[in-house]
Structure 1
Amino acid sequence: NVNGRDKPSCWPDAEMQSQIVVKDEPGQPHQTAEAAVKTQSAGGDLVTFIKKHCCNNIYSAHPKDLVHVVSNTPFCLYLYVGVPVGGGQSTSFVLIGYFDARSDDRVLTHAAYSDACLLIETLNKLELPLSNLAVFYCSAPHPELSQLLVPKLQTFNPKMISLCNISGMAGRACQGALIASFSHVVDLIRDIHHHYSTCSPVDDSLKKVFAEAGSYNPLCPVSAQCLFITHSVQNMAACWQDLLEYFKLLTHSEATDQIRFQLMDDKVKLHFLFLSHSLEPLRALQDLQQSGSASLIVELQLVSILLQSYATSILRSSAVDNFLLKRDMWLLHSEKELLPTAEVKVGSRASDFLWATSLNRRQQVRNGFLKDAQSFYIAALQSLVKSIPGPLWDVTQRNIGPLLKDPNNITVRSGLSAISDRLFD
């Protein structure tokens, strides 16, 4: 029961009582937490990190004391990679969490190391009872490290739960869904942003497109720029005509002509209207995770709403419940369980535009768009399901109703309900 007393102790909580173990570079003398904090106080980043994930009270502890405690209780392991510690330097933190039954508190302990790849070696040196390791999380932005570490850790405890895929799940779903059907949308955004970055003076319509969208690097994958892509799609859909008029007035060139031709294509506009709607829940999830303001439970409840929204868009009502309860991926590929293509839900703006233009009379274009929309939802659902550990799936689906109905969760309920309202327009 992750909502109550039995919630795994590893999940960071501002009210947690904490103990800190700080270990220096190999060959360097051991520092107490107090000394380490004083050493880093110029930048203040280490103290900020500890306070963010633990609390304002910092205590020192000996590794042997920690080993003794977790030898008799399940514990959880976090690996934070590339944490700035001031002076332009960074390090990696191993965080170990457990439930202290004597004090009724959750306890977090830290150890700092210069190289995250030394994790296994470090754990062995500490002689931690890895058979009691219940949960593991790694903050590395790229999945390669966690993919290497998780199988190694599960050899000690096959029932260990990995939370590594929770972080960044919205970005991965966004990338998978766009690549499945709408990669040309990403290409158009890239081309317009390149024009925006190199032209002078900057037109107001271009400013609107990239307002508050953040920075953009075309060399980075879509998964790392989910918010930028989503904001750009929504802003372009909102000022499409202004953009078209702007590019019509530009001097002809191969690059500007290619952009203009796409902006003149109703089929492309239809795609942006659809994505403006369908990417919104992924944007909401990415915002929530990036802000770091919500607990894992709130994140999972938002994912539950998102899954229901996407599943309802492409599956028959009888199949939606089976998919959400049983995690049955086969349903996404069953013609019997999928809605007829003509009934795929694409959002009110895209639907209205489809029926108001000649696109609706061009059966091949209409069917192709609806098939692409279906592929978008399938790819997103597959990615999201893979990101949620199996043992948490039942919790995610079972607790969404009580969470939204519980009067004690008014803030959470109103926030998730507002997002839900936007998803089911």
Structure 2
Amino acid sequence: MMQEIKKPEEQTPSPLFERYGNFQIPNDAELAGFYQGLNNEELLPFVRLETEYVNIVQGARIQLGQVFREAQQLFSKRGMRSDRGYTQMTFEKWLKAHGHTKSTSYRLIELANTVDKIQAQALENGDDAALMIDNFLSLSQADQLAIAKGQVDQQTISMVLKADPAARNSPAWQDMLKELDEKKAEMAEQAKKLKEQREQINQLTQRNSDLERSRADTTEQLSLEMQEKRHLQIQLDEAQAQEPERVEVPPEDYVELKERKLELESQLQDTNETLNAVKKELHEAQTAAEAHSKYTQEDIDDLQSQLAELTEQNSELTEKLEQQATKVDNKQAAFKTVSSRSTDMLSAIPKTLDVMALAHDTEQLTAEELQQTDLPALANVLEDKAKQIRELLRDSERIVEGEYDEVKS
């Protein structure tokens, strides 16, 4: 791997840099100590040697970058296949075969591209291309890479690349290099913040997308429910528009009640007939007794006793029959009340609870917004009323009357 050439402020500070500001040597303490011990006359040939070495290395780096760039372009045009195994050759595999790393190779490609760009700009603006490239190559690889990636503003780049070679030994040159580093750090910080802002924007965009998707799903579900409600409302309207069908409702205890009533009526009729017969016979006996007939006083007393017993039975049967009739009347009245009130309530629901009139408005609201209205409370109240009705139906064990009609909706 090629050796990294450090710029002066990255090396161990020494008087060498005061004597030769562009004197770049490897970061080696022993070599720096050797050069430090030489006087100016002894040091001068070594300065030429190090400069030539750096120029050769820099030139080699540019040439390698150009070769890597050409190879990258070749492999990007079409995949290279071998005749055996059909293994596809790529640029990265080619680099590995020649012992180069991917990161270093791409840095050299960027270096070659930047040198070409500097030459093109110098030609366009009439500047000294050789001077600009020489100044560029005198920078550290980190600064070269920062310029190649556009991490330094153009004004600072122009000042550094167009500086006079003699100025490299001056404090002004060092100040420009320091300013370049500061600009590079500033732009790197700006790039970092920009990246963070983009990530936040992406997160907000994704969150907004998720919310819109959730809203769309909720709206679609609500729309389906509204369509189902409309369908049910149409069926209800059609059913209400038809003539109500009147059907006989035979109560479970109707036969028992009717048989009991008929039995009491039959017993009362038999008792009345027997009572009348006894009354007639008693009258005849009393009349015959006065005429010295066959009826004795004992017979008359017996008939009077039967008459009293039958009269009592007649009174009891009459009372039972009246109670039975009252019970039937009460049940009939209760049925009529329940039937009438429930029919009135049912017919009033479509008029007073026109829920579908809200369909257009509810479609424009989210589920959270609908929860803030009284619509959920209304649904709960209706569910409670339905529950109460079912409890009444469940508690009622029998239908109490049969000889009347019930309106079926």
TM-score using structure 1 length: 0.22
- Flag the structure with higher helix content: 2
TM-score using structure 2 length: 0.23
- Flag the structure with higher strand content: 1
Larger radius of gyration: 2
